[in-house]
Amino acid sequence: MSIISASMNHKRKRRPLPSVVIVGANFAGLQAATSLPKEFRVTVLDPWPWVEFSPNIHELISGFKTPDLLQFSKKTAVYRAGHRIIPEAAAAILPGKNIVVTTSGNRLIYDYCVIAIGGTTNTLNVRGAEKYAMPFRSVAHCNAIGERLENLARKKRTSSIVIVGGGFEGVEALGEILRKYRKNKNIHIHVIEKEDKLMKDAPADIDAEVRRLCKPYPVFFHTDMMVTRVWKHSIDLSRGIKLPSQMTIWTGGGMPPALLYESGLAETPYHWAPVNAALQHADYPNIFVAGDAADTRYPINKQAYHALDMGKTAAVNIIRHHTGRRMTDFKPSSKPMLVSFGDLDAFLIDKKFVVAGPAVRVLKESVFLLVMTQIDPSGVLMKAIHASGRISQSAVKMASGMSFSLSSLVKLGKIRIINKQF
Ligand SMILES: Cc1cc2nc3c(=O)[nH]c(=O)nc-3n(C[C@H](O)[C@H](O)[C@H](O)COP(=O)(O)OP(=O)(O)OC[C@H]3O[C@@H](n4cnc5c(N)ncnc54)[C@H](O)[C@@H]3O)c2cc1C
């Protein structure tokens, strides 16, 4: 197995094409795989059979979307790119030896490795959270939440649903519960947020908007509160408060997977893997880290569109490194955040303005369509949803450019400006 060295890069003689092991194949890993030519000896490692579109998984809670719309086969996508996939997890990465060990004990030697394993649920070490709270990070998680809600909604007595986390994930989960159950007086929803406002970092008062929309319904906000313990049918909050909970949904954000620290790729279990501008690991130049798993050393939201761009950059830089060319820097694109609130509203949060309204919902749907079609080139999905008439031509055009100027948004109609003061 050849390890490419800097001196070899300058020699003009033919050398074997490098072997690349890609660990994790959702947004970043799949994009890296499809961007590498099939002449490279690429092996993709991922135990989960589906590529999943996490930005819309909250819609499974209400049944507005079904799992088949949000998933497609990883194996097919990797084969189509001309590479092989092993449906196993990496149990260990030995960066000093250029080896990835799979769960069945296979040892894969690499010239280059791309780490794209994303993040894992952050229960903030709250006791009982892992055992009793329902995580909110995958299609399976949100499907399970939807099914459990349906069972609770059938009961003749009041059910208390607790959403832990009032960030964008918690707001989207709340919107979906209201989409389906807001007329059911037995469904009471509690939202717990440690900050004094929901979506505190948003440059507009989303908190006030959400509270206004929730006024007619049994939704209770507990801001400035921490969850201290999760029980099977209740939760404990700071200041000695206890709430009943027939179902606790945990949306507390992500944290680094243990594998990063265990493999010596992160400083502590709470750190992501440090990379330079070319996405090379700080200590191991033949390891590239892409997507949520990467610590770029400057603040960047852990978002799918960055993961896709990082996957592409990692692949391009492997090709460039192998051919002795200068590598390119990953430049995070500046895109607005689209947060839906069931069928009640949606918010577009840009650096310069925040707008809301039905047109934003249509835009979010258009982004879903475009990105899914881009990463799932079979395009079946595109046709299916186009037929449903949920999107408009102008929204698709705008989403494909992903440049949302305030004037073009206003032209879509059904938009209200919440904030443009900054
Ligand atoms: C509820 C929710 C809502 C979101 N909404 C948005 C949004 O609206 N817009 C947006 O841009 N982003 C959104 N995000 C963020 C977005 O989903 C992530 O930024 C994106 O998924 C990161 O992509 P990734 O490829 O780095 O990791 P992931 O998508 O997490 O993929 C990691 C892959 O690695 C695999 N894996 C893990 N461990 C191993 C291992 N040991 N060996 C092999 N494979 C492994 C997993 O099976 C998985 O396939 C949302 C996330 C969540 C959870």
pLDDT in tens, 222-235: 999 999 999 999 99
Cα 152 to Cα 157, 214, 263, 397: the distances in Å are 9, 20, 43, 41
Question: For the chain, what is the domain count?
Answer: 3
Q: Which of 72, 69, 193, 66 is nearest to 142 (CA)?
A: 66
> For the chain, what is the largest distance between any 2 Cα atoms, rounded to a whole number of angstroms?
76
Indicate if 49 and 136 belong to the same structural domain: no
Chain-centroid distance of CA 199 in Å reads 17
pLDDT beyond 80 at 114: yes
Indicate if 140 and 244 belong to the same structural domain: yes
Mean pLDDT of the chain: 90
CA distance 42 to 401: 31
pTM, to two decimals: 0.91
Indicate if 73 and 143 belong to the same structural domain: no
Mean pLDDT over 387-402 rounds to 60
CA distance 131 to 227: 14
Q: What is the pLDDT of residue 391?
A: 59
Q: How confident is the model at residue 380 (pLDDT cuts 50, 70, 90)?
A: low
* Residue located nearest, by CA, to atom 9 of ligand 1: 55
Cα 63 to Cα 144, 145, 322, 345: the distances in Å are 11, 11, 47, 17
Cα 124-127-132 angle, rounded to 5 deg: 100
Indicate if 316 and 372 belong to the same structural domain: no
Indicate if 192 and 222 belong to the same structural domain: yes
Alpha helices in 203-257 (DSSP H): 206-214
Secondary structure (3-state) at 129: helix
Q: How confident is the model at residue 125 (pLDDT cuts 50, 70, 90)?
A: very high
Q: How confident is the model at residue 291 (pLDDT cuts 50, 70, 90)?
A: very high
The answer to the question of residue 331 being in a domain is: no
Residue for token pair 């031509």? 393
Cα 322-302-289 angle, rounded to 5 deg: 20
The answer to the question of residue 64 being in a domain is: yes
CA distance 366 to 362: 6
For residue 105 the two structure tokens come to 């004990």
CA distance 126 to 253: 14
- The full DSSP string for 223-234 is ES--EEEE-SSE
Residues 65-77, buried b or exposed e (16+ Cβ, 10 A)?
beeebbbbebbeb
CA of 124 to the centre of ligand 1 (A): 19
Which residue segment(s) compose the domain that 349 sits in? 337-419
Ligand 1: which of 54, 56, 300 to mutate, most ligand atoms within 8 Å of CB?
54
Ligand 1: which of 122, 292, 365 to mutate, most ligand atoms within 8 Å of CB?
292
pLDDT tens digits, one per residue of 297-321: 888 989 999 999 999 999 999 999 9
Indicate if 182 and 80 belong to the same structural domain: no
CATH number at residue 99: 3.50.50.60
Question: CB–CB of 42/83 below 8 Å?
Answer: yes
Residue that is last in its domain, among 322, 349, 373:
322
CA distance 188 to 184: 9
CA of 71 to the centre of ligand 1 (A): 13
CA distance 134 to 130: 8
**Residue 30 alpha carbon, nearest atom of ligand 1:** 25
Question: CB–CB of 115/287 below 8 Å?
Answer: yes
Indicate if 30 and 115 belong to the same structural domain: yes
CA distance 58 to 409: 24
CA of 102 to the centre of ligand 1 (A): 20
CA of 244 to the centre of ligand 1 (A): 31
* Residue located nearest, by CA, to atom 26 of ligand 1: 291
Residue that is last in its domain, among 250, 281, 310:
250
